[in-house]
Amino acid sequence: MILGQLADNLLSWLFVLVGYTTPLGIIFGLIGLTGFVEITRFEKGRSLYYQLNPVTKIVLGLCVTTISAISIWWIGGLLTAILALSFLTLNNGLRKFVFALLLTTSTVVATVQGFAPYTTTLTLQEAMHVKALHTVWVWPGYFSYMGFQHTLTLESIIYSLQISIRFTSIALASLILVLTTTPPGVIRALSKIGLPIPITFSLVIAMRSVPRIFEAIDASMKAQFVRGLGSRAHPLIRPIYYVEALMSSITPILVFLLRGAKNTAISADTRAFRAYPKRTYAKPLHFTRVDRVTIILAVSALIVTVYAATHGYGRGIPYVG
């Protein structure tokens, strides 16, 4: 009896630790900081995404976001699969495709861990259109202090998987915009749409800063290991030193960002940023036939999805048989 309870407790904690550490392991172990730099930085190319107007890609991203938010889960899954496969058309496409799959997997695992143990029975019965739930695991009683429900059910896992699908397609669409569009192109596109200049400027600064932050973190962590951090540690506890190196890199990264902000402010002032209410650009935006076809297809898909959602298609059908 005591051994059985001890085994249940150990397995419960093992499930929790695996759920929390797997996304971190994928991000830092498989993708790595250099991988994040690759999927957050613009590179020149000749495939379809590189030829599209930035406005077209923004409209495409907005349509994907709306469709994923209001449609049934498998529509979001289909969009995720299509967007992930489209990474193969980018420069070094196979590598970026693998990174996209790993990032999608980490998002799914993190969402399941963040939703499945906490979703109430009433929510599951209403969302899944079922009365009886199928128990997969019973948590120890003291797990309730962490907000866990008493049992982990099959329906809660499926429900959290469906939620994660809504995030993955949006994340992939955003990465495609970042990978295939220059910051000046984003400025011109957002200005064309009518977004206020301060918001546009903030978004572009974020696009330029994110890859640099990953590069700086990677350089800081490597410098600490070169100096001997964890050199004599056992391989099993070596991940602890990675966390220590990451935490120690916060201060130099903040200094790096503050210096970068100062340089950006000087650059903006010397170029008379916002000296006039409107700006003109040396390279005007042009819409090609491919842009028009892409926008028509994206908007048509959005209209069909809205029509289906407002008329109840996909509702009332149980997700679990």
pLDDT tens digit string along 87-109? 999 988 899 999 999 999 999 99
63 near 299, Cβ under 8 Å? yes
Alpha helices, DSSP H, located in 116-237: 121-128, 154-180, 183-193, 197-226
- pLDDT greater than 50 at residue 36: yes
Nearest to 182 by CA among 32, 33, 35, 45: 45
**Structure-block tokens of residue 145:** 């202090």
Task: Tell me the C-alpha distance between 81 and 153, whole Å.
Answer: 27
Task: Tell me the C-alpha distance between 6 and 226, whole Å.
Answer: 42
User: Quick one: pLDDT at residue 311?
Assistant: 76
Task: Tell me the C-alpha distance between 205 and 256, whole Å.
Answer: 14
Q: Give the model's confidence band at 147: pLDDT under 50 very low, under 70 low, under 90 confident, else very high.
A: confident
Backbone φ/ψ region at 61: left (φ over 0), alpha (ψ -120 to 50), beta: alpha
**Which residue would you say has higher pLDDT here, 214 or 78?**
78
Mean pLDDT over 227-255 rounds to 79
The single residue listed with the structure tokens 């130099």 is 252
- Residues of the chain above pLDDT 90, percent: 16
Nearest to 220 by CA among 179, 177, 253: 253
Q: Give the model's confidence band at 321: pLDDT under 50 very low, under 70 low, under 90 confident, else very high.
A: very low
- pLDDT greater than 60 at residue 221: yes
Amino acid identity of 284?
P
User: Quick one: pLDDT at residue 141?
Assistant: 84
CB-based burial of residue 234 (10 Å sphere; 0-12 exposed, 13-18 middle, 19+ buried)?
Answer: exposed
135-138 and 151-153 beta bridge pairing: antiparallel
DSSP state letter for 7: H
Q: Give the model's confidence band at 317: pLDDT under 50 very low, under 70 low, under 90 confident, else very high.
A: very low
Task: Tell me the C-alpha distance between 218 and 249, whole Å.
Answer: 9
Mean pLDDT over 267-279 rounds to 69
- pLDDT greater than 60 at residue 280: no
Give Cα separations from 293 to 49, 287, 289 (angstroms).
13, 10, 6
Q: Which helix (H) or strand (E) holds 135?
A: strand 135-138
**Which residue would you say has higher pLDDT here, 128 or 87?**
87
Q: Give the model's confidence band at 277: pLDDT under 50 very low, under 70 low, under 90 confident, else very high.
A: low
| CA pseudo-torsion sign 31, 249, 201, 280 | negative
- pLDDT greater than 80 at residue 320: no
Please tell me which of 1-10, 104-113, 306-315 the model is most confident about, judged by mean pLDDT: 104-113
Mean pLDDT over 207-218 rounds to 77
Q: Give the model's confidence band at 319: pLDDT under 50 very low, under 70 low, under 90 confident, else very high.
A: very low
Nearest to 121 by CA among 107, 135, 110, 108: 135
Q: Give the chain's end-to-end CA distance (angstroms, integer).
A: 35
| HSE-CB of 15 using CA atoms within 13 angstroms | 19
**Structure-block tokens of residue 89:** 């058309």
Query: Which of 60-64, 126-130, 200-204, 220-224 has the lowest average pLDDT?
Result: 200-204
